[in-house]
Amino acid sequence: MQFVWPWLFYALPLPLLMLLMPRARQPSVQALRVPFYRLLATAAARAPRPGISTRRLLLLWSLWALLLAAAARPQWIGEPVALPAAGRDLLLAVDISGSMEMPDLDLRGQPVMRLDVVKEVAGDFIERRVGDRLGLILFGRRAYLQTPLTFDRKTTATMLREAEIGLAGKETAIGDAIGLAVKKLRAQPAADKILVLLTDGANTAGEVTPEQAAQLAHEEQLKIYTVGIGADSLDVSRLAAAQGINRLFAPRTINPSADLDEDSLKNIATATGGRYFRARDSEGLREIYREIDRLEPAEKDQQVFRPVHELYPWPLAAVFLISLLVAAGQVWSLRRQPQAGAAADPVSPS
């Protein structure tokens, strides 16, 4: 809480000047003898003496203080509220096809699926994008907008963590994912529109080819960063228990990224002014997202405002209510005073 003009409270002792001022002299008048002097003297003794009682003085002082409080413009300053920064519109397109369950990457020293690494690393990337509007596209055989563009980074990261393999089908529709991003970003006013597309395979489904989708993205000034994920070699023993591979006749190591169409991903990035990255392990994927942070820095100077609520109506309302009660009390006293005087001092006609 604050006062816009607190210096007005210096006028709080101003009513004291009335007590320091000399009283006006009473004009001298000629005495007049009347036969009912004793009756007038008795009535004058019963009448209230001039002056202000302590209770009334405190009441008037309180009214004066409330008036000064209202004039000083009290304000309640609310908690800081972050303003949406004028950053980028950034969409993440994540492949959740069947091949993303390949356990060829390590996370904290443990072999995990590719999608688990993406959830971990891309989740951190989302948290760092302060000031950008983020959206999430999940694609397999079809592409779905899982999270529309929003400043709510927490919700976007949560929706990514809840993604499951095969939710959108087992195949891979890269062209449809790009086409959906173009459709969702086309009507947005942001000058910078970014798509980060991550996949581990080639386009095997969908109605739009990656080349056609890249051309549409170029026309809409959508920059695409493509990320190919997957290790170059994998010990078959890691797959033996999970997929029932007969190690007796299987090679010792295989290339789990043999289906990755790097040429297509490079062409998409080149056509739209972006870059292609290759992630062969979890640390490499982290470095890729850090590089994207450097290429497309997020807004750091976030603006905030604090809502201001004017409070001067409250002391003014208190002054009005107290004055109304005092006036009502005065009217009540004036109505009862003549009747009480007449009952106490009846005057005989004689």
Question: Does 260 map to a domain?
Answer: yes
Residues 291-347 have pLDDT tens digits of 998 888 766 555 667 788 888 899 999 989 988 888 887 778 777 765 444 444 454
Question: Does 167 map to a domain?
Answer: yes
Q: Can you give the pLDDT at residue 251?
A: 56
Ranges of residues in the chain whose predicted pLDDT is under 70: 19, 21, 23-53, 82-87, 189-191, 237-251, 298-304, 337-350
Question: Does 320 map to a domain?
Answer: yes
Please check whether residues 170 and 317 belong to one and the same domain. no
Q: Can you give the pLDDT at residue 214?
A: 94
Q: At what angle do helices 313-344 and 37-46 cross, to 10 degrees?
A: 150
Residues 183-219 have pLDDT tens digits of 998 877 666 889 999 999 899 998 999 999 999 999 9
Q: Are 86 and 299 in contact (CB under 8 A)?
A: yes
Q: Are 282 and 116 in contact (CB under 8 A)?
A: no
What is the SS3 assignment for 67?
A: helix
Q: Tell me the pTM.
A: 0.61
Q: Can you give the pLDDT at residue 238?
A: 61
CATH number at residue 224: 3.40.50.410
**Number of structural domains the chain divides into:** 2
Question: Does 207 map to a domain?
Answer: yes
